[in-house]
């Protein structure tokens, strides 16, 4: 009798997570772009970011500008290229954690090709937050990421398959 009651208790204590995405951070919802990088004229290489936050999902475009060719590869062309990443994010206190995967421009996973493949795992401190602007400090770089809101949206959670 006791094993049966114990099994009933354990099964009733468990519940499955809902198959619906989380709402994410309301203040981030929408599109953000980095129009200018601090000291970009004096940097040999810098990146500009575009973020789109949709509920708990994030879509990132990373535009790289290189003044000198450091790689002997045709992938780096004339010194400007774009990379894409898609994933999820979480905000804790003043930190923005992103867990993403590099993708093609159509947001499908990138398994080979030019530039990065695999995971994109930046960690940001949120240093300034306003309705139309956001400043992040990449914990792996000293260059701040100053973003302007280009579009607002609100989260409509979708079913997860």
Which residue ranges make up each domain of the chain? 24-152
Q: Which two tokens stand for residue 47?
A: 């990146």
Q: Is the per-residue pLDDT at 56 higher than 90? A: yes
Domain 24-152 has CATH 2.40.128.280: yes
CA–CA separation, 150 and 96 (whole Å): 19
pLDDT at 109: 94
Sort 79 into a burial class: Cβ within 10 Å, 0-12 / 13-18 / 19+.
middle
CA–CA separation, 8 and 72 (whole Å): 64
- Coil, strand, or helix at residue 57? strand
**pLDDT tens-digit series, residues 79-136:** 889 999 999 999 999 999 999 999 999 999 999 988 899 999 999 999 999 999 999 9
State the CB neighbour count (10 A cutoff) for residue 86. Answer: 19
Q: Which two tokens stand for residue 48?
A: 């500009």
Q: Taking all residues of the chain, what is their mean pLDDT, rounded to a whole number?
A: 88
Q: Is the per-residue pLDDT at 8 higher than 80? A: no
Torsion-angle region of 137 (φ positive above 0: left; ψ -120 to 50: alpha; else: beta) = beta
Q: Is the per-residue pLDDT at 17 higher than 90? A: no
Instruction: Please name which of 37, 59, 41 lies closest in space to residue 50, comparing C-alpha atoms.
Output: 59
């Amino acid at each position: 009798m006791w094993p049966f009651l114990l099994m009933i208790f354990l099964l009733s204590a468990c519940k499955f997570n809902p198959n619906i995405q989380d709402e994410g951070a309301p203040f981030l919802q929408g599109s953000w772009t980095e129009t200018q990088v601090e000291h970009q004229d004096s940097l040999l290489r810098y990146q500009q970011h575009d973020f789109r936050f949709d509920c708990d999902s994030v879509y990132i475009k990373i535009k790289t500008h290189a003044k000198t060719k450091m790689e002997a590869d045709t992938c780096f062309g004339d010194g400007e290229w774009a990379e894409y990443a898609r994933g999820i994010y979480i905000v804790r206190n003043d930190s923005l954690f992103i867990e993403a995967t590099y993708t093609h421009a159509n947001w499908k996973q990138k398994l080979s090709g030019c530039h990065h493949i695999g995971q994109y795992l930046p960690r940001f401190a949120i240093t300034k937050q306003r309705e139309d602007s956001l400043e992040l400090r990449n914990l792996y770089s000293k260059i701040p990421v100053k973003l302007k809101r280009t579009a607002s949206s609100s989260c409509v959670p979708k079913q997860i398959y």
